Structure 1
Amino acid sequence: MARPYPVPNATIPYWRTELHELDSHRSTPELPQKQDIVIIGAGFAGAALAKYLLEDDSPSSSVKPSITILEAREACSGATGRNGGHLRPDLFVSLAARMQEAGLKAANSVALFEVANEKAVAALVAEENIACDLQQVTTADTFVDQAEAAKIKKLWDVMVRLDCPTLKEVMYHGPEDAERVTGVKDAKVAFTYPAHTVWPYKLVMHILAGAVRAGVNLQTHTPVYEVSGAPDGEGYWALSTSRGVVRAKKVVLATNAYTSGLLPEYDDAIYPARGTVCRVVPKTQAEVKLGSCAVEIQSPASVDCYYGTRPDGSLVIGGAKTTFNDRRNLWYRNYDDSTLIEPAVPYFPAWPGKALAGWEGKEVQMDRVWTGIMGYSADEAPHVGPVSSKPGLYICAGFNGHGMPNVLLCAKGLAKMIKEGCPFSQTGVPACYETGAERLRKISKRNAAPAINRARADIFLKHSYGS
Structure 2
Amino acid sequence: MGTTFSRFRLAVQSLRQIAAVYEQLNKRIQQSPGIPVPHPSTPYWAIPTSPIAQHGSSDATPLPSCVDIVIIGSGMTAAAFARTMLGFGPEGSNSLPQIVMLEARDACSGATGRNGGHITPLVFHDYLVLKKEHGAEMARSIIEFRLAHLAELIQVSKEEEILVDSQCREVETFDVFFEQETFDSAVQNLNICLDEMPEQRGKWRLVDAEECVQDLQLSKRVIGAIATTAGVLHPYRFVTGILSRLLADHPTNFHLFTHTPCLSISSESSAKNDEPLYTVSTSKGTIRARHIIHATNAWASHLLPPMRGKIVPVRGHMSAQRPGIGLGQADVAESPLEQTHSAGPSDSALTLADARVGSWLGTRSFVVYANGRYDYLTQQPGTQSASSSSHSLYPPPAAEFMFGGGASRGEIGEGGFIKEVGIADDRSWNLDTGAYLGGALSMYFGGWGAEGRDFIGKRDTEESDASRVKKLWTGILGVSADGQPWVGRLSVKISGRPAPRAKKSVSKDKPASRLAPPGEWISAGYSGEGMVHAYLSGKALAHMVFGKEDTGLPDAFLVTDARWKKAKLENLVQTFIVE
Specify if TM > 0.5: yes
- Aligned pairs (5 A) from 1:39-438: 39-57=71-89, 62-130=94-162, 131-163=165-197, 165-175=199-209, 177-180=211-214, 182-185=216-219, 186-213=221-248, 214=250, 215-228=253-266, 230-233=267-270, 234-287=275-328, 291-297=364-370, 304-311=374-381, 312-322=398-408, 325-326=411-412, 327=416, 330-359=419-448, 365-389=468-492, 391=499, 392-419=519-546, 421-423=547-549, 426-438=550-562
Distance 1:103 1:244, change over 3 A: same
Distance 1:329 1:150, change over 3 A: closer
Is residue 311–residue 478 contact of structure 2 (8 Å, CA) maintained in 1? yes
Alpha-carbon shift at residue 452 of structure 1 (Å) = 12
| SS of match in other structure, 1:248 | strand
Please list the CA deviations of residues 242-296 of structure 1 after superposition, one character each: whole Å capped at 9, or x if unmatched: 2222211000000100000010111121010000000111443433686110012
Please list the CA deviations of residues 75-100 of structure 1 after superposition, one character each: whole Å capped at 9, or x if unmatched: 00000000012222233223344334
Letter in 2 for 1:10: P
Deviation larger for 36-45 or 206-215: 206-215
Deviation larger for 77-86 or 320-329: 320-329
Asked which structure has the greater CA Rg, the reply is 2
Letter in 1 for 2:224: V
Please list the CA deviations of residues 393-437 of structure 1 after superposition, one character each: whole Å capped at 9, or x if unmatched: 000111112111222211111111101x134xx200111111121
Distance 1:324 1:92, change over 3 A: closer
Deviation larger for 205-214 or 302-311: 302-311
Is residue 108–residue 164 contact of structure 1 (8 Å, CA) maintained in 2? no
Distance 1:141 1:437, change over 3 A: same
Is residue 143–residue 188 contact of structure 1 (8 Å, CA) maintained in 2? yes
Deviation larger for 364-373 or 18-27: 18-27
Is residue 73–residue 222 contact of structure 1 (8 Å, CA) maintained in 2? yes
| SS of match in other structure, 1:169 | coil
Please list the CA deviations of residues 332-361 of structure 1 after superposition, one character each: whole Å capped at 9, or x if unmatched: 010010011211111223122111132377
Alpha-carbon shift at residue 231 of structure 1 (Å) = 4.2
Structure 2: gaps of 5 or more residues: 1-27, 329-359, 382-397, 453-466, 493-497, 500-518
TM-score (norm 2): 0.72
Is residue 136–residue 194 contact of structure 1 (8 Å, CA) maintained in 2? yes
2:38 match: 8
Letter in 1 for 2:548: C
Is residue 121–residue 147 contact of structure 2 (8 Å, CA) maintained in 1? yes
1:19 match: 49
Distance 1:366 1:449, change over 3 A: closer
Percent of aligned positions that are identical:
30
Deviation larger for 74-83 or 431-440: 431-440
Judging by fraction of residues, say which structure has more strand: 1
Distance 1:448 1:412, change over 3 A: closer
| Count of matched residue positions in the alignment of Structure 1 and Structure 2 | 448
What is the rounded CA distance, in whole Å, between the counterparts of 2:148 and 2:409 in structure 1?
Answer: 35
Alpha-carbon shift at residue 319 of structure 1 (Å) = 0.3
Alpha-carbon shift at residue 176 of structure 1 (Å) = 5.7
Is residue 294–residue 303 contact of structure 1 (8 Å, CA) maintained in 2? no
| SS of match in other structure, 2:166 | coil
Q: CA RMSD in A?
A: 2.7
Alpha-carbon shift at residue 51 of structure 1 (Å) = 0.7
Letter in 1 for 2:478: G
Distance 1:328 1:406, change over 3 A: closer
Distance 1:202 1:241, change over 3 A: same
2:6 match: none
Please list the CA deviations of residues 299-355 of structure 1 after superposition, one character each: whole Å capped at 9, or x if unmatched: xxx752111112223211000123995345631010010011211111223122111
What is the rounded CA distance, in whole Å, between the counterparts of 1:439 and 1:128 in structure 2?
Answer: 37
TM-score (norm 1): 0.88
